[in-house]
Amino acid sequence: MTKILKNFLDESGRLTGYPSKRKMKLHALIYLAQKIDPNVTYTEKEINEILNRWHTFGDPATLRRELYTHRFLDRNKNGTEYFMEEKQPTIEELEAKYS
Protein backbone atom coordinates (compact mmCIF):
# COMPACT_ATOMS: atom_id res chain seq x y z
CA MET A 1 0.00 0.00 0.00
CA THR A 2 2.64 2.55 0.98
CA LYS A 3 4.63 1.64 -2.13
CA ILE A 4 1.68 2.74 -4.28
CA LEU A 5 1.34 5.99 -2.32
CA LYS A 6 5.08 6.70 -1.95
CA ASN A 7 4.86 9.95 -3.93
CA PHE A 8 2.12 11.17 -1.58
CA LEU A 9 3.76 10.30 1.75
CA ASP A 10 6.36 12.18 3.75
CA GLU A 11 9.11 10.50 5.79
CA SER A 12 6.66 10.07 8.70
CA GLY A 13 4.05 8.32 6.57
CA ARG A 14 1.68 11.30 6.38
CA LEU A 15 -0.20 12.12 3.20
CA THR A 16 1.25 15.29 1.72
CA GLY A 17 -1.55 15.74 -0.80
CA TYR A 18 -4.84 14.21 -1.76
CA PRO A 19 -4.42 12.48 -5.12
CA SER A 20 -6.54 13.70 -8.00
CA LYS A 21 -6.75 10.35 -9.80
CA ARG A 22 -9.54 8.16 -8.49
CA LYS A 23 -7.46 4.99 -8.12
CA MET A 24 -4.81 6.76 -6.04
CA LYS A 25 -7.51 8.53 -4.05
CA LEU A 26 -9.04 5.16 -3.15
CA HIS A 27 -5.66 3.83 -2.05
CA ALA A 28 -5.21 6.92 0.11
CA LEU A 29 -8.59 6.33 1.76
CA ILE A 30 -7.74 2.70 2.48
CA TYR A 31 -4.44 3.86 3.97
CA LEU A 32 -6.20 6.35 6.24
CA ALA A 33 -8.93 3.90 7.22
CA GLN A 34 -6.22 1.57 8.53
CA LYS A 35 -5.24 4.27 11.03
CA ILE A 36 -8.67 4.24 12.72
CA ASP A 37 -9.45 1.72 15.45
CA PRO A 38 -12.51 -0.30 14.36
CA ASN A 39 -13.49 -0.98 17.98
CA VAL A 40 -13.90 2.66 18.99
CA THR A 41 -16.72 5.15 18.49
CA TYR A 42 -15.33 8.63 17.87
CA THR A 43 -16.62 12.16 17.94
CA GLU A 44 -16.14 14.28 14.82
CA LYS A 45 -13.34 16.12 16.61
CA GLU A 46 -11.56 12.84 17.45
CA ILE A 47 -11.80 11.60 13.84
CA ASN A 48 -10.40 14.94 12.67
CA GLU A 49 -7.51 14.61 15.14
CA ILE A 50 -6.64 11.15 13.78
CA LEU A 51 -6.82 12.37 10.20
CA ASN A 52 -4.70 15.43 11.06
CA ARG A 53 -1.99 13.10 12.42
CA TRP A 54 -1.89 11.31 9.06
CA HIS A 55 -1.94 14.17 6.55
CA THR A 56 -0.15 17.49 6.12
CA PHE A 57 -2.50 19.52 3.92
CA GLY A 58 -4.96 20.59 6.62
CA ASP A 59 -8.27 19.27 5.29
CA PRO A 60 -9.66 16.65 7.67
CA ALA A 61 -13.25 17.51 6.70
CA THR A 62 -12.73 16.39 3.10
CA LEU A 63 -10.99 13.21 4.19
CA ARG A 64 -13.70 12.45 6.76
CA ARG A 65 -16.46 12.98 4.17
CA GLU A 66 -14.63 10.81 1.64
CA LEU A 67 -14.20 8.02 4.19
CA TYR A 68 -17.92 8.25 4.90
CA THR A 69 -18.96 8.46 1.23
CA HIS A 70 -16.91 5.40 0.32
CA ARG A 71 -18.29 3.46 3.32
CA PHE A 72 -15.16 3.15 5.42
CA LEU A 73 -16.81 5.19 8.18
CA ASP A 74 -20.40 5.40 9.29
CA ARG A 75 -21.99 7.85 11.68
CA ASN A 76 -25.13 8.28 13.70
CA LYS A 77 -27.98 10.34 12.25
CA ASN A 78 -26.93 13.64 13.79
CA GLY A 79 -23.24 13.17 12.89
CA THR A 80 -21.95 13.33 16.45
CA GLU A 81 -20.50 9.80 16.51
CA TYR A 82 -18.34 8.09 13.90
CA PHE A 83 -17.34 4.45 13.73
CA MET A 84 -15.79 2.08 11.24
CA GLU A 85 -18.08 0.06 9.00
CA GLU A 86 -18.03 -3.62 9.94
CA LYS A 87 -17.10 -4.62 6.40
CA GLN A 88 -14.44 -2.40 4.90
CA PRO A 89 -14.53 -1.99 1.12
CA THR A 90 -11.63 -3.50 -0.81
CA ILE A 91 -9.77 -1.75 -3.58
CA GLU A 92 -11.27 -4.24 -6.04
CA GLU A 93 -14.82 -3.44 -4.92
CA LEU A 94 -14.20 0.28 -5.11
CA GLU A 95 -12.55 0.12 -8.52
CA ALA A 96 -15.40 -2.05 -9.87
CA LYS A 97 -17.91 0.48 -8.55
CA TYR A 98 -16.28 3.31 -10.51
CA SER A 99 -15.32 1.52 -13.70
1 assigned to some structural domain? no
Domains in the chain, number: 1
Domain with 46 in it: 6-98
pLDDT at 1 over 80: no
82's enclosing H/E stretch is strand 82-84
- Listed residue (10, 30, 17, 9) closest to 91, CA to CA: 30
pLDDT digits (tens, 9 = 90+) for 21-79: 999 999 999 999 999 999 999 999 999 999 999 999 999 999 999 999 999 999 999 98
